[in-house]
Amino acid sequence: MTSSVAVRSYDTHWIGGQWARSDAEGAIDVENPATETVLASIPAGTAGDVRRAVAAASAAFPQWSTQPVRVRVAFLERLVAGLQARADEFADVISSEVGAPFQMARRVQVGLGLAIASSYLDIAPTFAYEKRVGNSSVVKEAAGVAACITPWNVPLLLTLQKIVPAIVAGCTVVLKPSELAPLNARLLAEVIAECDLPPGVFNVVFGAGPVVGSALASDPDVDVVSFTGSVPAGRAVARAAADTVKLVHLELGGKNASVVLDGADLELAVRATVDQMCINSGQACLQWSRLLVPRHQQEEALAMAADVAARYRVGDPTDPETDLGPLVSAGAAKRVRGYIEQGIEDGARLVAGGPERPEGLPVGHYVRPTVFGDVRDTMAIAQEEIFGPVLSVLPYDSEEEAVRIANGTPYGLHGAVWAGDTEHGVRVARRIRTGLVDVNGGPFNVLAPFGGVKQSGIGRECGPEGLDAFLATKAMQLPADAAELAGPRLQEIKS
């Protein structure tokens, strides 16, 4: 399939329901990572662009936040229909700017994003926005203006994961997409423009994180910041938001462990782990990058992992036969190759892949799927998020040691446990310090909360918890049946 994305020079943001020219004098090129050619350029947004977008969102908030839920859900119905109608176009754009194979982009990047968006068609109307507690009415109200800052790796899905519950909750939104993959956000704005959404409810400002992201996080009229990205960038967002004491959601990195227990189906566990390691060319926070196996099964597991990795076809993302496309940039490929070289230097055993460029691919940011054995949990490849198709196999001698190794990184986002029976797997999963654990291949559930612990982040997305993240709680104290006093005075509480 040939990409239909033309080389375009854009100089506008989506602000207040229209394409508004940027203050920026400069532009940022958007590269196709498979061909290393420029797809388009976007404005290098400014703090002034951010201020106008936030002002538009602030002006739209009073009216939008008081709309009945059915009105906001009707917008979502139109949005889902619009996304479905242009799903192939979104997949084509994402394939071109991220490097994901088209079929993967269509099935996961777009398809799963649509499933998440559609889930709120059922969640929003049935959500408990109000409850009675004694003489108090406790209500959930829109939290305000939400700044949604999204990454490049799964751009549409992670954007929908934020803006859909925010808008359905009654918030107004300013989206800052990654400058590496912004074209899907322009297409999203085009779809939303056809959904009869009041001006200012949804806005997009393009540009670099240190400029646009920082301005959004520090703007006094922004009430909520929802950020997905790296740990250092997340810290910077939290610092920028601290002066105005905003509500901050952070979904950061992961160094996720797939733990195989004695008695588990080893072949199934290894195959699933390698597949998960390779998803999106390893550029996924959910990636299982560590495989923990009983020491007596390490050699068998390594042979299986090497065989599965060797079957992956690396190449042109427009080729239907391709399994793995390129990494997003030259810097990303250099970083991943550096980790592979570091693993070799530290004494890990290379059993598949390596730092060399894949054969027959002289152009593009390609990396070979790589598997290491004899990895110690103190090595950099076992501790640091690589964000590439690199798997470390760590042998262990007891279940206690396996749990210790799994929990022995600064992260706690995702993980897996494989056991001979599910009850055993659940017992071990309860001991793994992560926000999400798959037991014996349990599939991803868009209705379940997603997020991490430790340095993997703060807060939850998806499901009812994802909607609640954009709501503020208010308690209204109503007159008690036998109240003797009124006004701002405390009565004696009698047991």
Write phi, then psi, for 263 (nearest 5 degrees): 95, -10
DSSP state of 455: G
The amino acid sitting at 5 is V
363: which DSSP letter?
A: S
> Which positions are annotated as active-site residues?
251, 285
Q: Cα separation of 58 and 71, whole Å?
A: 19
Number of C-beta neighbours around residue 20 at 10 A = 18
Exposed, middle or buried: residue 231 (CB in 10 Å: 0-12, 13-18, 19+)?
middle
Number of Cβ within 10 Å of residue 9's Cβ equals 11
**Among the listed residues 69, 79, 66, 74, the one whose alpha carbon sits nearest the alpha carbon of residue 116:** 79
CA-based R_g, the chain, Å: 24
211 vs 242: CA distance, rounded Å: 17
Longest dimension (CA), the chain: 85
Looking at the DSSP bridge assignments, the partners of residue 257 are 290, 415
Question: How many other C-beta atoms are found inside a 10 Å radius of the C-beta of residue 198?
Answer: 16
Residues in a beta bridge with 12: 21
DSSP 8-state secondary structure symbol assigned to residue 236: H
Q: How many helices (H) and strands (E) does the chain have?
A: 16, 21
DSSP letters, 96-139, are HHH---HHHIIIIIIHHHHHHHHHHHHHHHHS--EEEETTEEEE
For residue 143, give the 3-state DSSP assignment: coil
Residue 236 CA neighbour count, 13 Å, CB half = 15
List, in sequence order, every residue forming a beta bridge with 38; answer none if it has no partner. 31
